[in-house]
Amino acid sequence: MLQTYLNKTKEYILLLSAGFVVSILLLEKLWIPTAGILLLFLLLRYEKKFVIVFSFVTLVTLTSSLSSTLRLSVQVSNLLLLIYFFIKNYQFDFKSYPKIPAPVTLLLILIFSSMLLSIVFSAHPVTGIEQLVRTCVFFLFIYFFYSLIENEDDLRLFLVAFFVAAAVLFIVVLSLFYSADFNILRFQQKLLFGGEQNYIHKNGIGAFFVMAISILTAIFFSKQNTKHKSKIALTIFCLLTVLMVTNSRAAIISLIVSTTFILYVFNKKAMIRLLLGLAVLSTLMFLEPISSLMENYFRIEQVFTGRDLIVESINVVISNNFIFGTGPAAVKFELYKQMPFIIGSDEWFFLTRHIESIGFGHAHSFYLFFLSELGILGFITSIAFPVIFLSLGYRILKNIKNTDNFLFAFVIGIEAAGISMFFRGIFEWGGLISYGAIASDLPFWWWFICLIYISNKYAKSDLKLSVSSKSNYSPN
């Protein structure tokens, strides 16, 4: 009965939702009504397919540094759409709700337990509760997206959605680079001094492109994509070019790590050549003028003239809050109180600017971020995260390693993307779990829920039977 009612009233619900969104967005842009009508038509025509692509693209590209009104309206409208389709598909039959694997359930328990325990013993519980609510809302988004995956075609649609967003961000970076007269130094100055007015965060967008390149590189080796190898190679080249323009050191290094993993699986000879080439390049970096060029590009001196001060200050905070942490997003308060530098010194001014520029994540490392804010249990959670993620993929790959299907390459790409993000976590704090920062964390979890679905659907005893009719494939 509920299904019949939803079908009859679908158009009215969508019209009301669109009207709500338009009424808010009219405060920002006059062209929104026309766009709203077009989007409504696409929604009615393509339904779930449209929701997957539209929701991901808007959440990733329109919730970063734009106005709070637009950001909130995008999030609310997408959440309402996801809730509607979830109820439409599953109604209130709790037994039919998509299951979450036990290891992922354990990860979620660790995340919320570490946050709750830290909040209880924090001197700033209100700040912690705010981050807890944001995290809960974020995982609601993740579960609703997860519930939309019903078959392998949906996995491909998730892939399409990701690269539609990549195309949007690609255009944004190029436009900013053009406005800087294609001068990398001037482009970097725009990003450095733009503050919150920047539409993009170069480290965040660097992580996004690394995941995109990792997925494409793995798919490039899939035998099912022989006809599209030139297109995939061209796309990788374009994304790699933009990544170099953003000049995110952590992203570039993590891409090398993920690429090494992919080549190890598919082509060990190519991996050896890559490592030898990097070894030669590292040697040349000590010779002029290559040394000066590389130093200017990677800003090597800044690695030691800025982050060493941050690490020193964070270590003081950790030593005084080792067991339970400072509480979610409360490190900044402790940094002010426990800063190991004289007020008015150069170090003090640098750290003060760093503290005021972001709300949390001051540790500049995902693992130290969790340790400083959530204590020892948070640190255990940060270590358990990559173990659970990688083991989930390993179990799948163990069953399908001798097939030439798209799924094998896809899972390898997801694993490589995860490896890049966890390695990047040594140097950067965001992109994994950032208290519900959707634009930052959704790209990684987009692939994680694909991995969860594949684990539930394919990592079973009958998987080998389902692929046995396909020709064998030896990666090497």
3-state SS track over 181-217: CCCHHHHHHHHHHCHHHCCCCHHHHHHHHHHHHHHHH
Q: Which two tokens stand for residue 337?
A: 């109180």
**pLDDT surpassing 50 at residue 419:** yes
Q: At residue 218, does pLDDT exceed 90?
A: yes
User: Which of 462 and 471 is assigned the larger pLDDT?
Assistant: 462
Residue that wins the pLDDT comparison between 281 and 184: 281
DSSP letters spanning 352-366: HHHHHH-SS-TTSSH
Domain range for residue 50?
1-97
Is the pLDDT score of 28 beyond 60? no
How many secondary structure helices (H) and strands (E) does the chain include? 21, 0
User: Burial letters for 388-404: b for 16+ Cβ neighbours within 10 Å, e otherwise?
Assistant: bbeebbeebeebbeebb
Per the structure, the count of domains in the chain is: 1
| Burial grade of 180 (CB within 10 A; 0-12, 13-18, 19 or more) | middle
Residue 298 pLDDT level (bands cut at 50, 70, 90): low
Bridge partners, residue 472, by sequence: 403
Coil vs helix vs strand at 341: coil
Query: How does pLDDT run across 63-100, given as a tens digit for each residue?
Result: 665 566 677 888 888 898 899 889 988 888 888 899 99
Q: Report in angstroms the alpha-carbon separations of 242 from 169, 238, 248, 304.
A: 10, 6, 11, 26
| Residue 452 belongs to some domain of the structure | no
Q: Please report, for residues 55, 215, 443, 474, the alpha-carbon distance to residue 417 in angstroms, rounded to integers and kept in the order given.
A: 21, 7, 10, 22
Confidence (pLDDT) at 310: 72
Instruction: Flag whether 143 is in a domain.
Output: no
Identify whether the C-beta of residue 239 lies closer than 8 Å to the C-beta of residue 397: no
Q: Does residue 243 fall inside a structural domain?
A: no
Mean pLDDT of the chain: 79
Give the pLDDT band (50/70/90) at residue 226.
low
Domain assignment of residue 20, yes or no: yes
**Stated pTM of the model:** 0.83
CA dist., res. 424 & res. 259, Å (int): 14
- What confidence tier does 304 reach under pLDDT thresholds 50, 70, 90? very low
Cis peptide before 289 (omega within 30 of 0): yes
Calculate Rg over the CA atoms of the chain.
23
217 neighbors 262 (Cβ within 8 angstroms): yes
In a domain, 53, yes or no: yes
Short-list 196, 315, 199, CA closest to 246: 199
Per-residue confidence (pLDDT) for residue 463, from 0 to 100: 43
Tell me the CA distances in angstroms from 209 to 166, 206, 363, 408, one per residue in order.
Answer: 7, 5, 23, 21
Q: Decide if 336 contacts 355 (C-beta within 8 A).
A: yes
The arithmetic mean of pLDDT across residues 128-153, rounded, is 94
Q: How far apart are the first and last CA of the chain?
A: 55
Rounded Cα gap, residues 218 and 416, in angstroms: 8
Residue 244, pLDDT score? 86
Q: What is the pLDDT of residues 350-371, one digit of tens each?
A: 667 666 666 677 777 899 999 9
pLDDT at 469: 36
- Diameter of the chain measured on Cα atoms: 76
Nearest CA to 81 out of 8, 157, 18 is that of: 18
Of the ranges 62-66, 224-228, 379-383, which is most confident? 379-383
DSSP 219-257: HHT-GGGGGGHHHHHHHHHHHHHHHHHHT-HHHHHHHHH
The torsion of the CA quartet 419, 425, 431, 434, rounded to 10 degrees, works out to 130
The pLDDT assigned to 183 comes to 73
- Judge whether 288 lies within some domain: no
Q: Of the segments 5-19, 22-36, 182-196, 250-264, which one has the largest average pLDDT value? A: 250-264
Q: Tell me the per-residue pLDDT of 264-290, one tens digit each, with 9 for 90 and over.
A: 999 899 999 999 988 888 787 777 776
Q: Are 200 and 173 in contact (CB under 8 A)?
A: yes
pLDDT tops 60 at residue 396 = yes
**For residue 34, is it within any domain?**
yes
Is 440 contained in some domain? no
pLDDT of residue 237: 93
* pLDDT classification of 115: cutoffs 50, 70, 90: very high
If 0-12 CB within 10 Å is exposed, 13-18 middle and 19+ buried, where does residue 126 land? exposed
